[in-house]
Structure 1
Amino acid sequence: MASEDLTAPLGLGKRRLLRLPFGLIGTGLLSVVLTTGLVWMLVVDDPLGGEPIAMVPVGTDIAGLSQRDIEVVEIRPTLEDGALGPNLRPDAASNMLGPRYDLQKHAGQNEITRVDLINPDPRVVERSAYGYLPAVSDDGIRPLDVYARPVVSEYHSVPRIAIIVGGMGLSQTGTESALGLLPADVTLALAPYGENLDRWMQQAREKGHELLLQMPMEPYDFPDNDPGPHTLLVSLTPQEMADRFNWLLTRVTNYVGVINDMGARFMATRPSLQYVFENLTKRGLMFVDDGSSSRSVAGEVAAEVRTPFSGVDVVLDAVPREDEINAKLLQLEGVARARGVAVASASALPVTVRLLEAWSRDLEERGLMLVPVSATIDR
Structure 2
Amino acid sequence: MKKKGYIFYISKQNLNFILVTCLVLGFFTGGMRIQRNEQNPLWMSREASVIEETVAETKGIVAIVIDDFGNNGSGTDEMMNIIQPLTFAVIPFLPYSQEEAKRANKAGHEVIVHIPMEPKKGNPKWLGDRGITSNLTSEEVHSIVLEAIEDVQYAVGANNHMGSKITEDKRIMEAVMQVLKANDMYMIDSKTSQTSIVKEVADQYNVPVLERAIFLDNEKNVEAIKRQIEKLAVVALESGSAVAIGHVGPEGGRITAEAIKQMLPYLQEKGIEIMPASKLLNKPRQ
Normalising TM by the smaller chain, what interval? Answer: 0.7 to 0.9
1:136-162 CA distances to partner (integer Å, 9 max, x unpaired)? xxxxxxxxxxxxxxxxxxx6xx20011
Corresponding position: 1:171 with 2:75: no
Cα gap change, 1:225/1:196 in structure 2, threshold over 3 Å: closer, same or farther?
Answer: closer
Pairing of 1:20-169 with structure 2 (within 5 A): 66-68=54-56, 70=57, 158-169=59-70
Cα pair 1:66 1:366 within 8 Å, conserved: no
Further displaced range: 205-214 or 337-346: 205-214
What is aligned with 2:42?
none
The reply to whether residue 209 of structure 1 matches residue 109 of structure 2 is: yes
Q: Which has the larger radius of gyration?
A: 1
Check if 1:355 corresponds to 2:255.
no
Length-normalised TM-score, structure 1: 0.57
Equivalent pairs, count: 229
What residue in structure 1 maps to residue 150 of structure 2? 250
Distance 2:226 2:268 in 1: 18
Partners of 1:223 and 1:206 in 2: CA distance:
35
Deviation of 1:247 after TM superposition, in Å, equals 2.3
Q: Label 1:318 to 1:64 Cα distance change in 2 as closer, same or farther (>3 A).
A: closer
The higher relative CO (CA closer than 8 Å, separation ≥ 6) is in 2
TM alignment of 1:192-231, pairs within 5 A: 192-221=92-121, 223=123, 226-231=126-131
Amino acid at match of 1:159: G
- The percent of aligned pairs where both chains have the same amino acid is 22
Q: Which residue of 1 aligns with 2:28?
A: none
For 1:65 and 1:208, how far apart are their aligned partners in 2?
Answer: 21
5+ residue gaps, structure 1: 1-62, 71-154
Q: Tell me if 1:240 matches 2:144.
A: no
Gaps of 5+ in 2: 1-50
CA distance in 2, matches of 1:64, 1:356: 17
SS in 1 for 2:279: helix
Q: Distance in 2 between matches of 1:248 and 1:202?
A: 15
1:312 aligns with 2:212: yes
Distance 1:165 1:260 in 2: 12
Q: Does 1:376 align with 2:280?
A: yes
Q: Which has the higher helix share?
A: 2
CA shift, 1:204, in A, is 1.6
The letter for the 2-side match of 1:271 is: R
- Deviation (angstroms), 1:65: 8.4
SS in 2 for 1:364: helix
CA distance in 2: counterparts of 1:196 and 1:292, whole angstroms:
25
Q: How far apart, in 1, do the equivalents of 2:103 and 2:124 lie?
A: 35
